[in-house]
Structure 1
Amino acid sequence: MTMVSGKVTLLSAGPGDLDLLTIRAAKALERADVLLLDDLANAQLATLAPNARVIRVGKRGGCKSTPQAFIQRLMRRYAAKGLHVVRAKGGEALLFGRAGEEIADLRRAGIEVEIVNGISSGFAAAAGLGVSLTHREHCQGVTFVTAHLQDDSEPDWAALAATRTTLAIYMGMSRIAHVCARLAETLAPSTPAAVVQWAGSASERRLLSRLGSLADDVAAAGFGSPAVILIGDAIGAAEGFALDASSASAQDDANAAPRRPLDGYAYAA
């Protein structure tokens, strides 16, 4: 197979703030001729690609999206002209970003593919909460899972719950009540849980709760996508998780300290 002269970089843009980009990502953007900018990536990435033609190729669940086949045609077309195409994806490109399909398609076309790793929103969410996803006193690992498969079926929630790992659930907000109900068939309703919306960005919002009440708390607080759902005993290590409402109210009334997060309490970054 004859290789074309251009190439495609699948670039992990991180969860939001530009200061979470890697140096390697910044260098790739500087060299880009064409920037295909995902809807979940920070739009200001374009300022780091001064010589690039910027094409927005939004893909978000529940919204009008650019077809995947069209995005792949764009990558092949511009790379075939000898250009450096940067496909900027929110979070980590290799995690729930269709990178596998794109890599295979580009290789079939004889196009060089470069992969630049980055920070996934699941890690940014844990950092915002100040917890370790693999705290050895609470679990033996972490499982990253999407709430629905390509054919719109769902994972085996009972099997996932039985692993006793921390569950980092992506793309699950539209069906959070169902997900929690299925997990509660195996896990205790008191299992610590959290939702972090817009993790790693200036708009980040966090909510601490427990599995049995998480869906109701999310609805009451008005949380939505994009957000990561975290479930497992390790989440109970988040600061303020064990406080009860009465002690927090006393703190607030006395103006002794700023309000800290409670079970079912949402707060901003």
Structure 2
Amino acid sequence: MTSGKVWLIGAGPGAADLITVRGMRLLQAADCVLYDALVQPEMLAYCPQATLIDVGKRCDQASMQQKFINKMLVDAAHKYQRVVRLKGGDPMLFGRAQEELHALDEAGIAYEVVPGITAALAASADAGISLTSRGLARNVLFATARVGHGEDPSDWVRPVVAADTAVLYMGVKQAAEVAAALLAGGLRADTPLLIIENASLPQSREWAMTLAELPLAASWQLAGPAILLIGEVYRARLALAEAAPMQARA
């Protein structure tokens, strides 16, 4: 059976104009686009000629199982010549890309990965605070505390505690558990952190707090995806926020 080619493209953190030029050009030439839940409608406007298939997955919401997404991707490559799998952020970071690439390998389908801007970098840009700082933060860790169904827990606490700056993906809804684990792991209660919601979008919001205050975020009803940034590089921002704690900065 003749197959087309698949491009796994990073859509970036949200803003439609943060996709790479290569990614946008491939979208404009695509016959079929399978896209994630976090992909903005403005980005899909780049490919009006393509058949659009929503395969979005969101934490704690009913969504399509990964094995079905894998099959749909293979089926699309058998039907179309130019297939784009549009994934939020960067495809190779917490995006289940390896499972999809494995399915394509098994089916003998050619593919190419086009990187994108991950949420950690967009959140850092929104805050105006570098993830690294000379003499203060010489390393950065990207981690997640989330465990999928049927998966074994990972030892994420020790590397987060040891990192100069840590970025925790998909951790805000588990804020109380995350805080308890990090405190038990030895991270100080007064460690500064930021929560950034909707990084790169006009409705982006920021909260500065200490690790001890993090459990408060578990009850927030955030409308968009949020990311947690932890480390001493956020100490000055925390000091500015102390006069009006827990106030969102638009």
Name which of 59, 76, 81 aligns with 1:83: 81
Structure 2 residue 38 is matched with structure 1 residue 40: yes
Partner of 2:227: 228
Deviation for aligned residue 1:153? 4.8
Partner of 1:99: 97
Cα separation, partners in 2 of 1:25 and 1:7, compared to 1, 3 Å:
same
TM-score by length of 2: 0.91
Structure 2 residue 247 is matched with structure 1 residue 265: yes
Tell me how far apart the structure 1 counterparts of residues 66 and 166 of structure 2 sit (CA, whole Å): 28
Q: Is the 8 A contact 2:10 2:91 kept in 1?
A: yes
TM-score by length of 1: 0.85
Partner of 1:206: 206
Tell me how far apart the structure 2 counterparts of residues 26 and 36 of structure 1 sit (CA, whole Å): 14
Please identify, of 147-156 and 16-25, the stretch whose mean Cα deviation from structure 2 is larger.
Answer: 147-156
Q: Is the 8 A contact 2:144 2:156 kept in 1?
A: no
Write the deviation string for residues 68-97 of structure 1: whole angstroms up to 9, x where unpaired. Answer: 112111111121234211111111111100
Partner of 2:71: 73
SS of the residue 1:266 aligns to: coil
Tell me how far apart the structure 1 counterparts of residues 236 and 242 of structure 2 sit (CA, whole Å): 18
Tell me how far apart the structure 2 counterparts of residues 167 and 33 of structure 1 sit (CA, whole Å): 39
Partner of 2:167: 168
State percent identity of aligned pairs: 38
Structure 2 residue 26 is matched with structure 1 residue 28: yes
Deviation for aligned residue 1:215? 2.1
Tell me how far apart the structure 2 counterparts of residues 204 and 128 of structure 1 sit (CA, whole Å): 8
Structure showing greater Rg? 1
Tell me how far apart the structure 2 counterparts of residues 227 and 43 of structure 1 sit (CA, whole Å): 19
SS of the residue 1:108 aligns to: helix
Cα separation, partners in 2 of 1:50 and 1:161, compared to 1, 3 Å:
closer
Cα separation, partners in 2 of 1:163 and 1:229, compared to 1, 3 Å:
same
Please identify, of 42-51 and 10-19, the stretch whose mean Cα deviation from structure 2 is larger.
Answer: 42-51
Aligned residue identity for 2:211? L
Write the deviation string for residues 155-195 of structure 1: whole angstroms up to 9, x where unpaired. Answer: 33541244233111111122111111211231111111011
Q: 1:11-22 counterparts in 2 under 5 A? A: 11-22=9-20
Aligned residue identity for 2:53? I
Tell me how far apart the structure 1 counterparts of residues 133 and 165 of structure 2 sit (CA, whole Å): 9
Cα separation, partners in 2 of 1:86 and 1:184, compared to 1, 3 Å:
same
Name which of 232, 239, 250 aligns with 1:242: 239
Write the deviation string for residues 176-233 of structure 1: whole angstroms up to 9, x where unpaired. Answer: 11111211231111111011111111221111111111222x2576446521011111
Q: Is the 8 A contact 2:208 2:246 kept in 1?
A: yes
Write the deviation string for residues 89-139 of structure 1: whole angstroms up to 9, x where unpaired. Answer: 111111100001111110111111111111111111111111111223222
Aligned residue identity for 2:58? R
Aligned residue identity for 2:46? L
SS of the residue 2:22 aligns to: helix
Tell me how far apart the structure 2 counterparts of residues 116 and 42 of structure 1 sit (CA, whole Å): 18
| Gapped regions of structure 1 (runs ≥ 5) | 247-261
Deviation for aligned residue 1:46? 1.9
Q: Is the 8 A contact 2:175 2:218 kept in 1?
A: no
Q: Is the 8 A contact 1:5 1:83 kept in 2?
A: yes
Write the deviation string for residues 5-33 of structure 1: whole angstroms up to 9, x where unpaired. Answer: 40111110011111111101100101100
Cα separation, partners in 2 of 1:146 and 1:161, compared to 1, 3 Å:
closer
Q: Considering only aligned residues, what root-mean-square deviation do their CA atoms show, in Å?
A: 2.0
Cα separation, partners in 2 of 1:222 and 1:266, compared to 1, 3 Å:
farther
Tell me how far apart the structure 1 counterparts of residues 48 and 160 of structure 2 sit (CA, whole Å): 47
